[in-house]
Copies of this chain bind each other. A is one copy, B any other.
Amino acid sequence: MLGLFFGAMNMTSLLNPRDVQFLLYEYLDCEALLQRPRYGEHSREIFDATIDTARQIAEAKLAPHSSKGDANEPQFDGKTVTLIPETHEAWAAIAGAGFHNAHWDFDEGGLQMPEVILRAAISYFYSANVASSSYSFLTIGAANLLRSFGTPAQKARYLGPMGDGRFAGTMALTEPGQGSALGDIKTSAELQPDGSYRLFGQKMFISGGDQSITENIVHMVLARIKGAPPGVRGISLFLVPKVLVNEDGTLGARNDVALAGLLHKMGWRNTTSTVLSFGEKGGAVGTLLGEAGKGLAHMFQMMNEARIGVGLCAASIAYRGYMLSLEYARERPQGRLPSCRDPHSAQIKLVEHADIRRMLLAQKVYAEGSLALCLYGASLQEDLHTHPDAASRAEAARLLDLLTPVMKSWSARYGCVANDSAIQILGGSGYIREYPLEQLYRDQRLNPIHEGAEAIHGIDLLGRKVVMDNGAAYKLFRNLVAASVAQAAADPALACLTKNFAIPLARLDEVTLKLGALLASDPDRALANATIYLDVFGRVVAAWIWLRQAQAAQAGTNRDASSADFYRGKLQAARYAIDWDLPATAPQFDLLMAADDTAFAMRNDWF
């Protein structure tokens, strides 16, 4: 009966395919990858077909049940977890099309697909339905960990089924009593005579920790071997399957890993969030993955991958909100311009109002900008592994280290801002479940929390990343930015976009030097405003990413007249990122330079 009020939104507006092409082949130069030996058998057509397959799966198998999965979250009857059947079909489609292992080498059973192409493809899944696609997200990460650190026997038993979709994977880090402080985890592991371990303890907030989609789940578990020292040095990584696997690959008995219960999230509802009990009945069988005592270092591979992945999730959710609110703003008549006083005149479309355009433009900056940033991150991951030049590989490693906290946290933070604007454009309709915007807002809110809450990344960036190796990564990054700015300044069409860079860059240097020095003498004070540092750093990175997109757009303008409007949009969005968001760093730099102690000096008793 109410259906008539809710114009059918085009549920297939996911990412803008023209933009994906732009990001991969104009802003990044993914065609150059074809020169690398690993990709000798590939072609741009294969890359494009991969992305198009992902888009089709996203449209057909993920987007249609996003809202249903939100309204019908997984149920646990004490024995089995039940998900809506569409989740199973989506998983089968994703795994069946090879997206779990396309990036593996041919001899692992993969297609040697470049990291950056796969990440772009998978972003379509996230934009369509982040909750249902997260099972694949986690499985890909867990399988990569196994590929890096597994013994041949472990790989033989688990890798194939994770690739083909029979087994899923998880990362089991957090515990009820410790939250972000991984050094304090208590789950213990006891060595058995046969070389395996028995695990005992509890893990919380484990996404995909149980489900009814796959016949087995491979948990990557951090635990302490009995007698290991406290803190990070005592942590090891274990592979603990939900169901034991026999040597011949057949399934054995149920392992001693029990679902203690499901948690009920604000968004991502179709992703189970679990509390898992290990060893309530004598010990969960696990095998050591990698070296004892190096568990956290090993797990950082998966965490860093997952952090870029969270950045891509954030980008994709922001992107979808942008596309949907843009569509609404173009169709919905509403009011008149302030200059029009004639009540007889027709209403104009929402998109004609300057403030609506501001909110659309901001969304474009955050959605397309974070996608561009995280795909750049994926291209660094790619270079790290396949760049023919050793020095370039080392550079990529440094930049990736430096930018990972920014990719994760800038994308998540401004993804929330973007989805907030999407709701605001729809007004009351944005707030009701009859439209998809409010779900995106709820889904997005997880991203500043999981894979390290924002503060963790601020401390990681300022306390470790910018100072490591005498600031080598920082200097490398700064040189890249300076080079882009110099290059753009020399182009009359782009020079106007470069004038706002000088001051923030100089002040970033100054603040980094000052706080870096303070780190040695008073780390608590130096890191007190690290979250603000993370934000200014993110704004500088985002402005740079947009300058690079503007350069690519300008080059495109000279080449391809049919895309003139698209390129104009990129240039205008760059202007917003550089003229609106970058100068907003000024008061933040003032606080950082003063090592302002307003929050630091606040006392518990004064609240």
Contact = CB atoms under 8 A, between A and B. Distances in A.
Contacts of A448: 424
A354 B529 contact: yes
30 contacts: A2-B260, A2-B275, A179-B332, A179-B427, A184-B347, A264-B434, A265-B431, A265-B433, A266-B442, A326-B607, A337-B524, A338-B526, A339-B523, A354-B524, A354-B527, A355-B458, A355-B528, A355-B531, A355-B599, A358-B529, A358-B531, A358-B599, A364-B607, A420-B445, A424-B448, A427-B453, A428-B449, A565-B603, A572-B602, A583-B590
Contact of A604 (B1, B263, B347, B351): B351
Contacts of A423: 445, 449
A607 B427 contact: no
Interface string A552-593: 000000000000011011001001100110011011101100
B606 A528 contact: no
Contacts of A434: 263-264
Most B CB contacts (10 A, CB to CB) among A178, A455, A596 go to A455
A600 B358 CA distance: 8
A266 B438 contact: yes
A564 B460 CA distance: 37
A71 to B, nearest CB: 10
Interface in A117-143: none
A176 interface: yes
Interface in A329-365: 330, 332-339, 343-344, 347, 349, 351-358, 360-361, 364
A64 interface: no
Contact of A565 (B261, B431, B606): B606
A204 B344 contact: no
A530 interface: yes
Contacts of A243: none
A294 to B, nearest CB: 16
A231 interface: yes
Copies of this chain, how many? 2
A408 to B, nearest CB: 14
Interface in A174-189: 174, 176-181, 183-184
Contacts of A267: 431
A428 B450 contact: yes
B580 A591 contact: yes
Contacts of A344: 230-231
Interface string A509-523: 000000000000011
Contacts of A445: 420, 423, 431, 438, 441
Most B CB contacts (10 A, CB to CB) among A431, A454, A459 go to A431
A246 interface: no
Given A184-B347, A572-B602, A432 B263 contact: yes
Contacts of A337: 523-524
Contacts of A200: none
B334 A568 contact: no
